[in-house]
Chain A
Amino acid sequence: MSKDYKDNLPISASGFMDEFMRLKRGSVSRRHFLGITGLGLATAVMTRFPGALSTPAYAAEDLGTQMSIATWPNYHDPATFENFTAATGVAVEVNVFGSNEEMLAKLQAGASGWSLFVPTNYTISTYQKLGLIDELDMSKVPNFSSTTQNTRFTSEGQIDGKTFAVPKNWGTTGFAVNTDKLKTPLKSWKDFFEIAQTEADGRAMVHDYQLTTIGSALVSLGYGFNSIDAGELAKAEELLIKVKPHLYAINSDYQPSMRSTDAWMTMCWTNDGAQLNRDMPEIAYILGTDGGEIWTDFYAIPKDAPNKAAGYALLNYLMDPTNAVKEHIANGAPATDSRVIELLPKEITSNKIVYPDEASLTPLEFGAAVTLTDPARAELMARFKSA
């Protein structure tokens, strides 16, 4: 044999390294790299043999090189997206939002560019009504298992028997307190709004979000979290405007302020409470004994998603319990899927912030769709912010 085996290779070793470095620098596309090195062909051949590659589903369809997801602050393990990019070549751009209203506004305006997003339970019926989301093609999400889901948290993803969204995780809206700074023990939303005006003067934060800010104020006055009763809303407005001069900020991204100790107390979602408490044990997470919110966040795919294939691929990736459990450990929001709970370490399943006692969940309410589109609540929020 006169011919060296190397002559049959599509590219020399040093040529390969050059191309690889160019890919890493971003000078060439992944597709160019796969083509010129012959790896694309190799990948295509290998996917014909089940088991040859661990992620055969991804090579079957052209996923492109880029997609974007709309989600909440501090809600994902950054490694999840890096791993997804490594497995599929699709870079994930992450957009974070402060309220469901803002997400809805972006989708209503059109051309959001998202291929996957994370709406909360009470908004899904409105998205479906407005025709902004598609029924999910569950054949593209084989990793989802409906039988292992806790139905308490999953029902709002189904409309007329069709699946429009699948659950990401559930959680609660309570408040976080820096116990080094605030000595009075707090138990309820009534306490929260009282202490905000006294001991925590200038140090308390509320969300820039009508549902939780107005809802919690209503709860502190003994009304329902979702009330749109004019008289009850007027009382809540009175309270909020009275509290406002004492607030540190109206902002849904409160972790930086709590970590720097600029703020001592804030309305807080489970996952943020767990993250803050993990890094700063003096920060406690409290569920109002007088009520508050319990929620489920879902994954859904916009009707005008520019890269649905990648959206489904990422959704399926996130529904894989081995990936979901990493997300859970990083963000601290409780799972709806028992397969994920089984994989969790004991210190998380026994964490009372993440998995509170059933009794403390009893007074909590799921958000109601009507609050999302009610003009009275929107105007109340505007008056509160401009007061």
Chain B
Amino acid sequence: MATSPETKKRLVTAALLAPASLWLFVFLVLPFIAIVVFAFGERAPEGGYQPSFTLEQFANLGARAAAFKNTLLLAPVGAFLCLVVAYPVAYYLAVKASPRYRLVLVSLVVVPFWTSLLVRVYAWMYILGARGIPHLLEMIGIENVRLLNTPGAVLLGIVYGYLPLMIMPIYVSLEKLDRRLLEASADLGAKPLSTFFGITLPLSLPGVMTGVALVTILLLGEYLIPQLLGGGKVFFIGNALVDLFLQSRNWPFGSAIAVTLVVVVVFILLIAMRIAWRFAGTRQVDLV
């Protein structure tokens, strides 16, 4: 039996894709189907799930309106703060830093990722806690300063935790920047500032949009940082989900919120891609 080269090629492709597809099917698609099924069910009297077909859970979404509001506010604000801090760093790394040190500097950005986020957030708990910075302030006479468990601490933790995810895509897009364009701009009499806004920034926008999308999406599911640096008082969808599954054991309602969150993320991603295409004037921008 002769196999045509075409068929063979297709078989090889299928074989190569099989492990990833199986993985995604078992660990992403199947659990998601389970969650959708749960979302239309009812909470059993002692907690958990009992089969039913009701829209009750979705009708009740308003009960977690505060969590949705906090999250939808925090995610863009956090991503914007990350951007403000990350852009100059990425610019320096890609444009200003001497090529000799560039690799070292880039690895310094990445190295903290080798330690668990949990450990790094705990470190912040000690730095911001009474025996950390407030203690130093006490030595110079400023008493009873409280830094831990404040909204500021949560924002600090978020910027710290997600910064590398913002720096890297911007760095990559700036590194590809054709320097001759900058020279041309200067030759034609543009001031550095207008060169930046006219050439550098627009050309790095794909990186910026990727970074913003990446950080925003991850922030929509953030749980750990508000829990540890916010003292459990700052409540996001991630926290609402944990409580619904682990405290009140209302799996159907938790599932409905999870499904809603997924829909919101997809929606935001679509809008972000539209904006990115518009700015870049092409559909060649991949966000994630």
> Which A residues form the contact surface with B (CB < 8 A)?
99, 101-102, 104-106, 108-109, 126, 129-130, 202-203, 205, 208, 210, 244, 247-251, 257, 260-262, 373, 375, 378-379, 381-383, 385-387
Contact = CB atoms under 8 A, between A and B. Distances in A.
Chain B interface helix/strand/loop/mixed: loop
Interface string B155-194: 0000000000000000000000000000000000000000
Q: Which 5 A-B pairs have the closest CB atoms?
A: A249-B231, A378-B248, A250-B232, A386-B66, A386-B235
15 contacts: A99-B247, A101-B248, A108-B47, A109-B245, A130-B46, A203-B146, A205-B231, A249-B233, A260-B129, A373-B45, A375-B248, A378-B250, A379-B248, A383-B66, A385-B239
Contacts of B235: 385-386
A375 B240 CA distance: 15
Interface in B43-82: 43, 45-48, 63-64, 66-67, 70
B248 A381 contact: yes
Chain A interface helix/strand/loop/mixed: helix
Contacts of B233: 244, 247, 249-250, 385
B241 to A, nearest CB: 11
A248 B149 contact: yes
A178 to B, nearest CB: 11
A222 B12 CA distance: 74
B43 A375 contact: yes
B243 A381 contact: yes
Contact of A260 (B131, B245, B250): B131
Contact of B240 (A244, A250, A386, A387): A386
B246 interface: yes
Interface string B236-266: 0001100111111110000000000000000
A383 B239 CA distance: 12
A325 to B, nearest CB: 33
B52 to A, nearest CB: 15
A382 B240 contact: yes
Nearest to A378: B248
B246 A101 contact: yes
Contacts of A104: 47, 249
Given A130-B46, A249-B233, A381-B243, A386 B249 contact: no
Nearest to A250: B232
B54 to A, nearest CB: 15
Contacts of A202: 146
Contacts of B243: 381-382, 385
Contacts of B129: 257, 260, 262
B130 interface: yes
Contacts of A244: 233
A317 B148 CA distance: 41
B239 A260 contact: no
A379 B70 CA distance: 18
B269 to A, nearest CB: 25
A387 B47 contact: no
Most buried by B among A248, A260, A261: A260
A385 B67 CA distance: 9
A387 B247 contact: no
Given A208-B232, A262-B148, A126 B247 contact: no
Contacts of B149: 248-249, 262
Contacts of A375: 43, 248, 250
A248 B246 contact: no
Contact of B231 (A99, A250, A261, A386): A250
A202 B151 CA distance: 13
Nearest to A247: B233
Nearest to A181: B144
B46 A373 contact: yes
Interface string B5-45: 00000000000000000000000000000000000000101
Contact of B46 (A99, A129, A247): A129
A260 B130 contact: yes
A244 B246 CA distance: 22
Contact of B70 (A106, A109, A386): A386
A378 B247 contact: yes
A378 B243 CA distance: 9
Contacts of B46: 108, 126, 129-130, 373
Contacts of B45: 373
Contacts of B239: 385-386
Interface string B213-235: 00000000000000000011101
Given A108-B47, A262-B146, 14 more contacts: A101-B247, A104-B47, A208-B232, A247-B233, A249-B149, A262-B129, A262-B149, A379-B63, A381-B243, A381-B247, A382-B243, A386-B70, A386-B235, A386-B239
